[in-house]
Amino acid sequence: MQERLDVIAFAPHPDDAEAACGGLLAKLAGFGYRVAICDLTRGELATNGTVAERRAEAAAASRALRLASRLNLELPDGGIRAHAEEQLGRVVALLRASQPRVIIGPHEAARHPDHLETHGLVRQAQFWCGVARRFPDLPPVQRPLLLRALDYHGMTPSFVVDISEQLDAKLQALRCYRSQFERGADSAPTLLNDPAYLERIVTNARTYGQLIGRRAGEPYAIDSAVMLDDPIAVLAPENSEVRA
Ligand SMILES: [Zn+2]
C-alpha cells in the first residue's frame, strides 16, 4: 500500500528531479516532511548507463537528499504522453493514495519532449485527482499545490527558495549519477557528462541566490498569486535588507 507523503517531485528520468529541485527537496526533508521523487521512466533511452546502473544511482541520490521514498512508474522512456489515459490514471492514483500537499514538475518551457509531456501529465493529474467521477476506483483528494521548477529557463520565478545550506547535498545527489555526469573511457560524450553541466547547476544556484540576497537559490513558478497576511513579516523582516 502506498504511504502518505507530503511532497512528490515528478521527473521524466532518474536525475532530472535532483537537477531541477534537489535543493528544495533536501530542505523540506530536513524540516521533517515526507518527501519523494517519482521518476516516470527508467531512462532506458539514455546515451550512457544501463537501467540497473541508473536504479542504483537513484537509490544513492535519494539517500543524499534524505528522501522518504523513491518511486518509478516505469512508463516508456520517450513515450510519456500527457493525454494517455492509462498514464494519467496511474499518476492520479498515486496522488490519491499518497495525498501530497505539494507536487513539483517540469516547467512548460522544457525543451525535451519527455519533460514537456511530464509537465502536461502532472498538471492534468493535479486537477483530476480532485474529481470523483474521473478514475472512480479511488476517492478524490484535496488538490496539491503544483510547483513548476524553472531550472535553467531564465524566466522570472514566482519565488526563489534559499538553498545555501542544501547546495552541497544537491551536488552530492547529482554526482551519484556517475553513468550520466562522469565522462569515462568507454562513455559517449554528451551535454550531461561535459564538466560544464554541473558547473552550470552551481552558476544557476548562485544567480538565483543573488536575486534573494543568499548564496544559492532555486527558482519556482506557481499559477496562483501568493496570499500574504503580513507582508512586513514576510518581505521585510527585521535585520534584513529590503530588496524589492
Ligand atoms: Zn530528463
Q: Can you spell out the DSSP letters for 176-201? A: T-HHHH---TTSPP-STTSTHHHHHH
Kindly give the distance from the C-alpha atom of residue 16 to the centroid of ligand 1, in angstroms, as a whole number: 5
Is residue 244 over pLDDT 90? no
Distance 105 CA to ligand 1 centre (A): 12
**Ion ligand 1 nearby residues (CB, 5 A):** 12-13, 16
Q: Which residues contact 1 (CB under 8 A, 6 or more apart)?
A: 97
Q: How far is the CA of 15 from the centre of ligand 1 (A)?
A: 7
pTM comes to 0.94
CATH code where residue 203 lies:
3.40.50.10320
Q: Return mean pLDDT, the chain.
A: 93
The rounded Å distance from CA 115 to ligand 1 centre is 6
For residue 236, how far is its CA from the centre of ligand 1 (angstroms)?
Answer: 38
Please state, for a pLDDT cut of 90, what percent of the chain lies above it: 80
* Range of lowest pLDDT (24-28, 166-170, 177-181): 177-181
Question: Within 10 A of 195 (CB to CB), how many other CB atoms are there?
Answer: 10
Q: Looking at residue 241, what is its pLDDT?
A: 63
Q: How far is the CA of 38 from the centre of ligand 1 (A)?
A: 13
CA 174 to ligand 1 centroid distance, Å = 13
What's the domain count of the chain?
1
Residue 81 confidence (pLDDT) above 90 = yes
> Is 242 part of any domain?
no
**pLDDT exceeds 80 at position 1:** no
Banded model confidence at residue 44, pLDDT cuts 50, 70, 90: very high
Identify the pLDDT of residue 193.
83
E strand or H helix at 30, and its extent?
Answer: helix 16-31
2 within some domain: no
Q: Would residue 241 count as lying in a domain?
A: no
Whether residue 138 has pLDDT greater than 60: yes
Task: State the residue range of the domain holding 175.
Answer: 7-235
